[in-house]
Amino acid sequence: MKSIRRELEFEVKSRRAFVNITSEVEAALRESGIGEGLCLVNAMHITASVFINDDEPGLHADYEEWLEKLAPHEPIERYRHNRTGEDNGDAHLKRQVMGRDVVVAVTGGRLDFGPWEQIFYGEFDGRRRKRVLIKIIGE
């Protein structure tokens, strides 16, 4: 069995963003030479997410609106976590809803996606450097 480990780095300029990282994951898969296996992609920070969905701007706007209703950023005093001097209590909750990681089957040297599926990095407390891990294992 072979494996490859890669990291992507992000420094999103805004507090929140969704970044399509499918091409970077596909590049790591090509580099690995793995034809059959599994690809794990996970956010290495507790206020960021990795998820799979459609790359459609309306859907992304819906996510923004929905997440803000579930866990509004303000007033920041509403979150006990923010009593530590942080202002990102909402970002932790948004990450929990959107998920930490995804696993995609590798078949024939390609990510085995359904129609319209893409991999996204979700940032909920940006403006600082964060990482995403790509780990691919297989034959």
pLDDT digits (tens, 9 = 90+) for 43-62: 999 999 999 999 999 999 99
Q: What type of residue sits at position 28?
A: A
- Whether the full predicted model's pTM is greater than 0.85, yes or no, is yes
Average model confidence (pLDDT) across the chain: 97
The Cα 49–Cα 98 span in angstroms is 6
Q: List the one residue out of 126, 121, 124 whose CA is nearest residue 13.
A: 126
The Cα 34–Cα 60 span in angstroms is 32
What mean pLDDT comes out for the span 3-14?
96
What mean pLDDT comes out for the span 22-44?
98
Name the percent of the chain lying above pLDDT 90: 100
Q: List the one residue out of 15, 44, 36, 40 whose CA is nearest residue 25.
A: 40
Alpha helices in 1-139 (DSSP H): 22-32, 57-70, 89-98
Range 2-138: architecture per CATH: Sandwich (2.60)
Confidence of residue 104 (pLDDT cuts 50, 70, 90): very high
Tokens of 11: 């420094």
Instruction: Give pLDDT, residue 45.
Output: 96
What mean pLDDT comes out for the span 22-49?
98
Confidence of residue 132 (pLDDT cuts 50, 70, 90): very high
